[in-house]
Each structure stands twice: as structure tokens, then as C-alpha cells.
Structure 1
Amino acid sequence: MKNQKLEVKAALQVLKPAHEVFEAIVDPAKMSNYFISESSGPMEAGKTVTWKFPEFDERFPVRVGRIEQGKYVSYFWDHGDQELLVEITLTPKGDNATLVTITEKEMENDEAGLNWLRGNTEGWANFLACLKAYLEYGINLRKGAFDFMKPEV
């Protein structure tokens, strides 16, 4: 059997219209309520922004790929010596619901790739739950959730 590439895929329905979900993904002021702690700017096609997460001191460059208003966002970010593609697709479900599907690609089907697949599948499931909690209930599930990952001082 051929060594197939690994790809993360996660999806969740959010009870908000696609344009609201889209804005929560591209607007750093909204993203800071459920995902990042800060960003150097909004996600715009062809731009590179820098994200900081609450549990890490480092900043992470994100190269924005293609954006389709209210429908699709893609970007690239580094994983070691590789640049991985993240795609977020928004599919309206009636007037007040959106299916959010995230894929991240791709890694080799080996031990390192399987560890990445496990960790990033968990991470994207967490992202989706946090996005849903923020948009539907105004709750920041991420706040304090990953403090255990901060280095001990």
C-alpha cells in the first residue's frame, strides 16, 4: 500500500449566519474572544499576519491565501520546516446556521505525521467548540484553558 498523505478534517454547525461566522474568523478583535490573544491585523488575501496565542510567548506568521466573503478562508502556517494549508469552508444551513468545515494539509503517514494528525484534529475540534460558544453564547472557552501549557516560572 502506498504511503498516503495525512489530512486533518473537522466540522461543526454554528447557529449563526455565514456572514457572522466569517467575520469572527477574519476579524482579529473577534478572534481574540475565542482563539488568539492578538494579531497584527485582519485576514486579507495575500497578506501575512502574525498571531499570538495566550498560552505561548512566541508569535506565529500566517500567510493568508484565498478569501471568499462569507464562504471561504485559506491560509498557510509553519509546522517545523513545512508550510501547511488550512482551509475553512462555510456552508449555510438555512437562514441562521452555518456548517464550518476545516481541513489542514498535509503530512507524511509516519509517526510524526500521526502525532500531528492527533494533535491538530484535537486543536481544530477545540477551535470549533470555542467559535460556537463565542458566537452563540458570548463565552470565551479558551480563556485559561491552556494555561497549563505555559512554562513554569
Structure 2
Amino acid sequence: MKELEIKAALQIRKTAQEVFEAIVDPEKMSHYFISESTGKMEEGISVTWKFPEFEDMEVPVRVIKTTAPKLIIFEWEGAKDELLQVKITLEEKPNNSTLVKITEGKMQATEEGIVWYGRNTEGWANFLACLKAYLEFGINLRKGGFDFMESPE
């Protein structure tokens, strides 16, 4: 059976060091992705992320490797009961820009794997768009973007 692996990429008009810091620093990350973290993403430690649109959701993240400003690798429960590895590479490009590439996976091409593939591919594309909007324009694209997911009172 074929394995599925998520791949997403986007170029950002900031240096690799600026992009790296925006990903590992929870203060910066809270302006485009998470609401809070228990700490900075540093090699060998675990942190917990909270998301603004999911009040009760806490996501444990185990940081495997960080090499500033080129690489971040972590594990998380990317799908129910599936510990998956996420690899973020930063490649410097001309004009102080950086190509950000993300891979996550792998899972079997079962019904569960296909659901994960669609959901998390959308999630990583959103992450990259939000990171770009924040770094280049100071905009938080997530703010209000998931209000439709809140349950009616």
C-alpha cells in the first residue's frame, strides 16, 4: 500500500534567521499560528501548544532537532493516535528571501490516512500563508478566520 506524505512550500521575503525565529519563538508564533506555548522550540525539549480557535485543545510537541537558521524537526500527534514527524527546512534565496518547505508523515493510504492528508495539507498551507502575512505585512490571518468553528451558544 502506498504511503502518504504531506509536502508544502512557500517563499517568504525575509531572511532565514527571521523566519526561523518566527517559528521557534512562541511570542512571535502567537501572532500567526498558536495562542500560546509552554516554551521556545529547542532541541531535545517538549512544549505544548494551544490554539486560539480551540479553547480546550493542547498539542504536545517534541522537538527533535533545530539547526538555526536552516532546520526544525519535531514530532506530534498529527492524526489520532499517530505520532508523526514534521520537518521544516529553510533555504536562503536571493533578495533576503527564504523558501520554507514542510513535510509531515507518513501514513498509509487508508481512509484515515486520506482524511489526515487532506486536513493537515490544508493546515500546513494555512500555516505558511499566515507566517508570510505576519512576517511581510504584520497581519494575523488567523484572527477571526476560524470563528465559524465555534459552537453556537
Runs of 4+ in 1 over 6 A off after TM superposition: none
1:60 matches 2:76: no
| TM-score, L = length of structure 1 | 0.96
Question: How far apart, CA to CA, are the structure 2 residues paired with 1:151 and 1:104?
Answer: 29
Question: How far apart, CA to CA, are the structure 1 residues paired with 2:72 and 2:13?
Answer: 19
The alpha-carbon deviation at position 95 of structure 1 amounts to 4.3
The alpha-carbon deviation at position 151 of structure 1 amounts to 2.8
Question: How far apart, CA to CA, are the structure 2 residues paired with 1:152 and 1:102?
Answer: 34
The alpha-carbon deviation at position 147 of structure 1 amounts to 1.6
Which residue in the other structure is 2:74 paired with? 75
1:101 matches 2:105: no
Q: Provide the alpha-carbon RMSD of the alignment.
A: 0.9
Question: How far apart, CA to CA, are the structure 1 residues paired with 2:144 and 2:87?
Answer: 27
Question: How far apart, CA to CA, are the structure 1 residues paired with 2:66 and 2:58?
Answer: 23
Question: How far apart, CA to CA, are the structure 2 residues paired with 1:131 and 1:26?
Answer: 12
SS of the residue corresponding to residue 70 of structure 1 reads: coil
The alpha-carbon deviation at position 144 of structure 1 amounts to 1.1
| TM-score, L = length of structure 2 | 0.96
1:143 matches 2:143: yes
Which residue in the other structure is 1:8 paired with? 6
Letter in 2 for 1:72: L
Question: How far apart, CA to CA, are the structure 1 residues paired with 2:120 and 2:62?
Answer: 18
Aligned length: 151
**Identity between Structure 1 and Structure 2 (%):** 61
